[in-house]
A and B are shown apart, each in its own frame.
Chain A
Amino acid sequence: MADEEKKEVTGETATPAAAPETPAAPSAPAPRPYGRGPGGPGGRRPGGPGGRPGGRGEGGPRKFFRRKKVCKFCVEKIDSINYKDVRLLQQFVAERGKIVPRRLTGVCTPHQRRLTAAIKQARNIALLPFAARY
């Protein structure tokens, strides 16, 4: 079983030209959000096997450099995420009233947890919609 898999991997079908562009990390010095909580996701991806098919699987050099997302609450040092602060909460609610996931907004885990709780409280008291009418 394992041998078969290995064969598939070793069977080089990709063009050899794709080899040079392995420098995956963008050289731009991304400013790190230092205000991460103790339980913050430090290195979530330990670079284990089977994460991404190297640089080989991709067609060419990556064209898009996504800006490093940072947690708004850590950067601006917003301590309290309150259900009364509709203006703040509204930034993290999609048009239809859904809570925007962390992977899109860049909010860190501890803050997303508080944010979610606050949004749900705000919904309960009709400050935010459960589902916006369309």
Chain B
Amino acid sequence: MPQQQRTYEVMFIVRPDLAEEETERVISTVESSATAAGSTVKNAERMGKRRLAYKVRKFQDGVYVLLTIEGPGSALAELERRLRVTEPVIKYITVRIDEEQKRLAKIKKIRDSKVRQRPQPAEAASGPEPAPVTA
């Protein structure tokens, strides 16, 4: 049985003192190692330089990058290992988001159906409701 495909978010911080093209190179190596580990990168978002809430490896700022990755857990474990040994990456976090997305989709569906239902009974009520009262 093949391993389950799951959706993850990997956010990592690249050290801020690199030149822009070097940062880009780091990001692309992370992406390629993700694909090499057997997962697909759905989206890569550069969130830019941000002030860190606390010092990390004596850095006060960091370049935040957010990857959305789909793949089995083993691929993510491998990617985390690579991130750990990648020197310019000072911090990373992996969050599984497929369950959350499913939950949100469910809530949205319920809400949408409620929104659709609400106007309809109101219109329908104005029509047929007086009839039973008089009858």
- How distant is B120 from chain A, measured CB to nearest CB, in Å? 21
Contacts of A127 in B (CB 8 A): 50, 53
Q: Does A83 contact B (CB under 8 A)?
A: yes
Q: Which residues of chain A from 72 to 112 have any CB-CB distance to chain B below 8 Å in the complex?
A: 77, 79-80, 83-84
Interface size grouping (class) on chain A? 10 to 19
Mask of A11-38 contacts with B, CB within 8 angstroms, 1/0: 0000000000000000000000000000
Q: Does A129 contact B (CB under 8 A)?
A: yes
B100 and A128 within 8 A (CB): no
Q: Which residues of chain B from 32 to 61 have any CB-CB distance to chain A below 8 Å in the complex?
A: 50, 52-54, 56
A124 and B93 within 8 A (CB): yes
Residues of A within 8 A of B (CB): 77, 79-80, 83-84, 121, 123-130
Q: Does B125 contact A (CB under 8 A)?
A: no
Q: Does B95 contact A (CB under 8 A)?
A: yes
Number of interface residues of B (CB under 8 A): 18
> Contacts A125-B91, A126-B62, A126-B91 given: A79-B108 contact, CB under 8 Å?
yes
Contacts of B69 in A (CB 8 A): none
Q: Does B79 contact A (CB under 8 A)?
A: no
By beta carbon, the residue of chain B nearest A82 is: B100
- How distant is B12 from chain A, measured CB to nearest CB, in Å? 8
Q: Does B77 contact A (CB under 8 A)?
A: no
A129 and B108 within 8 A (CB): no
A79 and B107 within 8 A (CB): yes
- How distant is A134 from chain B, measured CB to nearest CB, in Å? 13
By beta carbon, the residue of chain B nearest A133 is: B54
Contacts of B91 in A (CB 8 A): 124-126
Q: How far is the CA of A83 from the CA of B94 in the complex (A)?
A: 11
